[in-house]
Structure 1
Amino acid sequence: MRDYEDGLAAAQHGYTVADAVNDWLDFGLSSRDPNTVATRRSLATHHVIPALGARKLRELSAEDVDRWLQEKSRTLSTRTLQDIKSILSRAIKRAQARDKVKRNVVLLCDTPTGQVGRPSKSLTLPQAEALLEHCDGSTMGTYVLLSLLTGARTEELRALTWSHIDLRGDPHTTPPILPHMMVWRSVRAGGDTKTRTSRRTLALPQRCIDALHGHRTRQAAQRKLAGDRWADHDLVFASEAGTPLDSANVRRGFRRIAAAAGLNATDWTPRELRHSFVSVLSDARVPIEVISRLVGHAGGSSVTEEIYRKQLRPVIDEGATAMDRVFPTAPGSHSVSHSPRPRTAERPGPELR
């Protein structure tokens, strides 16, 4: 009666949790990446709907949610528990906005600790050196080398274009502009990086510069051989026809190189190259604040974040300097080392939004 007097629509008594979750899956994820949508749908259909779907939404209690999460904690990791709880909470929030239910009981519940998931690990220095020795003159060899020596995410490297690579720099400016790559894109929905601080410009270690020179020459030969079949997306890492690589392509190529380096290939994934980058820099006593900037993690002072978002991006060179020290240029290389390196250099670019 109070809802009626306030002009609110009467809630449907038969509206279930499954109705709310399916409505959110169908209409609440329209702007998300297809892989994200598929993952959320799988979690909902396997863990949320079977356990709670038949309950009437208006009768769902915090105790019901607590018991459900506690039961799931026996088999699922803490991260997965957080994900399925988020799915239920977002579905109920959408239902709230449509007057299907008065409150979101999920907000009253805590996430229990789940099972230990697969731990992230990093390569030791000897393992990293062995991997680099087997980064042959191939697309994936260059990919692995660049990932290990710059810490770029796999989704960032798959979207990297030649227009965002500068292998020459400009030593005549003040301060000099070093050879660098602009990590400004990813294969995520909309093409943007994971966070604002993920959008960064990194000076390249000398081994990366040498490898990219050779890779560009090989790719030009592939383009000529493919002729009209070549799909020109300006991608640094592409198939033999110029098309984008997917995650399965990268995983297979990485494991081939890992096996050649004497590693148990099934124990490693491409994302652990990024973990290894952080580990190598930490062992080289690079400050954590610098590592955070290099890998594009959110953090640091809000003033710095605001300046980086609105003004020119500096070329962060500490990572390249450290990697040149840890992994020296191969003997006989014709390239000239940038030593000493200035702390930063700037390159004009579009305003970051």
Structure 2
Amino acid sequence: MRDAVNDWLSKGLKGRSEATLTKLRIITEKHVIVKLGRTKLQDLRADHVDEWLDGLSGKLATRTVRDALSILKRAIRQAQARDLVVRNVAELVAMPTGKEGRPSKALTRHQAETVLKAAESSELNAYVVISLTTGVRTEEARALRWDHVVAWIPERKAWEPVTEAGFKHKRFAIYVWRADRVGGDTKTRKSRRTLELPMMAAESLKQHYARQAAHKLWQYRGLVFCTTVGTPLDAVNVRRTFRRITKAAGLGTEWTPRELRHSFVYRS
């Protein structure tokens, strides 16, 4: 089974993002190979899979159990295509329910105010403000470019990038056309949208742009949010920094950046 799963990992995931590959490799190593890796492919039975799933369901969330079973099914399916096994026993078992996952939550108005205050001294300040006041997804925020931050020019009756128009205007918006996903697309076609910014968000971006321009970070890739050397932000680092903000706000570290979007939707 170890060989079959590793063969699928190396050949069956072409075109997937590095984040997806990393996630699947971790699940494979921790929950598939460690239990079923020594079993001969031809000797694997549905009872073996049932016992394995029962063990996982007692300690993992349903989503992770489902992902582990999917990995096993697809690995065996690929082995079938290569005439290494006759049937896919993973297709014959019922998917159990795992442990209840952490429920999603939203900030109250008071909590949101404390987070905004705590974020003022953070490099993620504009990220937090934009996410909380517009509801953009975290992968959309990470992919936002300065040429998609625009100002309304009344005399021309048109939106122009702030890189050309500057920030001495009254109306601003962002084009949410890209995301940090494979291919760079938003979650769905309908997710492509233009969001007008409240003044709080526009002011945070103005300050953020000034800091970036001082270090010439925008010259690298044109990203609104990037590392200190101009490279794209990593989702893990964003979560880590955001948890420092919520801790400073007195809310603990059990919060994630995506819950800023939930807070916007819940309070809108």
Using structure 1 for the length normalisation, give the TM-score. 0.66
Q: Alpha-carbon deviation of 1:128?
A: 0.9
Matched, 1:268 2:255: yes
Tell me the residue number matched to 2:247. 259
Could you list the structure 1 runs, at least 4 aligned residues long, displaced by more than 6 angstroms after superposition: none
Matches within 5 A, 1:1-40: 17-40=1-24
1:167–1:210 Cα change, 3 Å: farther
Q: Alpha-carbon deviation of 1:205?
A: 2.5
- Please say if residues 88 and 106 of structure 1, whose CA atoms lie closer than 8 Å, have aligned partners that are also in contact: yes
Q: 2:48 aligns with which of 55, 64, 79?
A: 64
1:184–1:272 Cα change, 3 Å: same
Q: Alpha-carbon deviation of 1:234?
A: 0.4
Using structure 2 for the length normalisation, give the TM-score. 0.84
User: Which secondary structure state, in structure 2, belongs to the residue aligned with residue 267 of structure 1?
Assistant: coil
Measured in 2, the distance between the counterparts of 1:248 and 1:132 equals 20
Count matched residues.
256
Q: Alpha-carbon deviation of 1:144?
A: 0.5
- Please say if residues 243 and 254 of structure 2, whose CA atoms lie closer than 8 Å, have aligned partners that are also in contact: no
Q: Alpha-carbon deviation of 1:210?
A: 2.4
Q: 1:146 aligns with which of 108, 124, 130?
A: 130
* Aligned residue type for 2:79: A
Tell me the residue number matched to 2:175. 182
Deviations 1:107-130 (A, max 9, x none): 222211111222222111110122
Measured in 2, the distance between the counterparts of 1:198 and 1:101 equals 42
**Identical counterparts, % of pairs:** 52
Aligned-residue CA RMSD in angstroms? Answer: 2.5
Measured in 2, the distance between the counterparts of 1:146 and 1:24 equals 40
- Please say if residues 185 and 192 of structure 1, whose CA atoms lie closer than 8 Å, have aligned partners that are also in contact: yes
More helix by share: 2
User: Which secondary structure state, in structure 2, belongs to the residue aligned with residue 238 of structure 1?
Assistant: coil
Specify the structure having the higher radius of gyration (Cα).
1
User: Which secondary structure state, in structure 2, belongs to the residue aligned with residue 113 of structure 1?
Assistant: coil
**Structure 1: unaligned runs, 5 residues or longer:** 1-16, 282-353
Tell me the residue number matched to 1:193. 186
1:205–1:25 Cα change, 3 Å: same
Q: 1:136 aligns with which of 120, 126, 140?
A: 120
Matches within 5 A, 1:186-335: 186-223=179-216, 232-264=220-252, 266-281=253-268
Q: Alpha-carbon deviation of 1:191?
A: 2.3
1:155–1:243 Cα change, 3 Å: same
Q: Alpha-carbon deviation of 1:96?
A: 2.0
Q: Alpha-carbon deviation of 1:251?
A: 2.8
Deviations 1:135-161 (A, max 9, x none): 427541111011111222222211110
* Aligned residue type for 1:215: H
User: Which secondary structure state, in structure 2, belongs to the residue aligned with residue 202 of structure 1?
Assistant: strand
Matched, 1:53 2:41: no
Q: 2:111 aligns with which of 106, 121, 127?
A: 127
Tell me the residue number matched to 1:314. none
- Please say if residues 28 and 68 of structure 2, whose CA atoms lie closer than 8 Å, have aligned partners that are also in contact: yes
Deviations 1:298-317 (A, max 9, x none): xxxxxxxxxxxxxxxxxxxx
Deviations 1:153-179 (A, max 9, x none): 2222111101111132658759xxx73
Measured in 2, the distance between the counterparts of 1:61 and 1:201 equals 53
Measured in 2, the distance between the counterparts of 1:105 and 1:184 equals 42
User: Which secondary structure state, in structure 2, belongs to the residue aligned with residue 181 of structure 1?
Assistant: strand
User: Which secondary structure state, in structure 2, belongs to the residue aligned with residue 168 of structure 1?
Assistant: strand
